[in-house]
A and B are shown apart, each in its own frame.
Chain A
Amino acid sequence: MAGARWAQSELLDRNPKADVRVFTIWFRMYPGDAESKWPRQLLTDARVEHRWDEPKAAGRWFLTRLTSLRPSRGGDGLFPQRSDALWDCYLLFDRNAVWNDTPSGVLSWGYTVMRTREQLLKDFQFAIAPAR
C-alpha cells in the first residue's frame, strides 16, 4: 500500500495534467487480505481504475509472461520468488503500446513498487512527455 500512496503523491498529484491512464488490480496475497480491506482512500485520482481480482488472473498472467515483456528503459528484472502471481508490482507502457498476444511498449516494470520507484519515476516522466 505504500507504493499506491507514493504513486498518488509523487506521480499523479505532481502531474495533474499528465494524460496517463492507470489500472490498479487488487488481490489477496497475504492471509487476512480481503476485498473488504481495499484501501479506497488510496489512488483516488480520476485517471485511475480499480478492480478486485479474486482469482489473481492478472498477477498469474503477468508472472508467466515476464520473459515475453520487453523493457526498453531498465527495470532490474527481479520478481517475486515462490509466488503464484506477480504482485506489489508496476508495469509502465508507452503511448504506442498495443496488446495482441502480449502487450508491447513496455517502458519498465518493477517489483516492489517502493524498491523500484526511482526507475518508475524516471520512466513516468519520459512517458508523459509530449508525443515526439
Chain B
Amino acid sequence: MKRVSLATVALAVLLATSPAAQSSGSALRHLDGIDELKSWFNAGQGHPRLIFLLSPT
C-alpha cells in the first residue's frame, strides 16, 4: 500500500512539473503594448528572432 502511495505521489510530482502541465496551468500573459515586443527584441540581440502573429482559430 505504501509503495502504491509513493508511486502515486511521484507521478503527481512528475505531471505537475512537466512542461505541458506548466503550460496548461498558466494563463496567457497579455502583451504590454508594442514596447514589450521591442524590449524582448532588443534583449535578444545575438540570437535569430522569429515573431509570429496568429489568431487562435
Residues of A within 8 A of B (CB): 1, 3-4, 7, 11, 18-30, 32-35, 37-41, 43-44, 46, 49-54, 57-59, 61-62, 85-99, 103, 107, 113, 124, 127-128
- From B26, which residue of chain A is reached at the shortest CB distance? A40
Chain B nearest CB: distance from A90 CB in Å? Answer: 5
Q: Are A32 and B41 in contact (CB under 8 A)?
A: no
B19, B30, B54, B57, most chain A CB atoms within 10 A? B54
A97 touches B41 (CB 8 A): yes
Say whether chain B's binding surface is mostly helix, strand, loop, or mixed: mixed
Candidates A7, A30, A103, A128; contact of B48 at CB < 8 Å: A128
Q: Which residue of chain B is the closest to A129 with respect to CB atoms? A: B48
For B29, the chain A residues whose CB sits under 8 A away are 50-52
State the 5 A-B residue pairs at the shortest beta-carbon distance, nearest first.
A127-B48, A29-B55, A51-B31, A37-B56, A53-B31
Contacts of B28 in A (CB 8 A): 26, 35, 38, 40, 50-52
**Chain B count of residues within 8 A CB distance of the other chain:** 30
Most buried by A among B31, B51, B56, B57: B56
Beyond contacts A43-B52, A89-B53, A96-B45: 18 other A-B pairs, Cβ-Cβ < 8 A, are A1-B57, A21-B40, A21-B47, A23-B40, A26-B54, A28-B56, A30-B57, A34-B56, A40-B23, A44-B23, A58-B37, A58-B51, A87-B54, A93-B49, A99-B42, A124-B48, A127-B48, A128-B48
Residues on B with beta carbons closer than 8 Å to the beta carbon of A62: 53
Q: Which of B33, B49, B54 contacts A88 (CB 8 A)?
A: B54
Taking CB atoms, residues of chain A closer than 8 Å to B45 are: 95-98
Give Cα distance in the complex from A27 to B28, angstroms: 11
Answer whether residue B6 sits at the interface, using C-beta atoms and an 8 A cutoff.
no
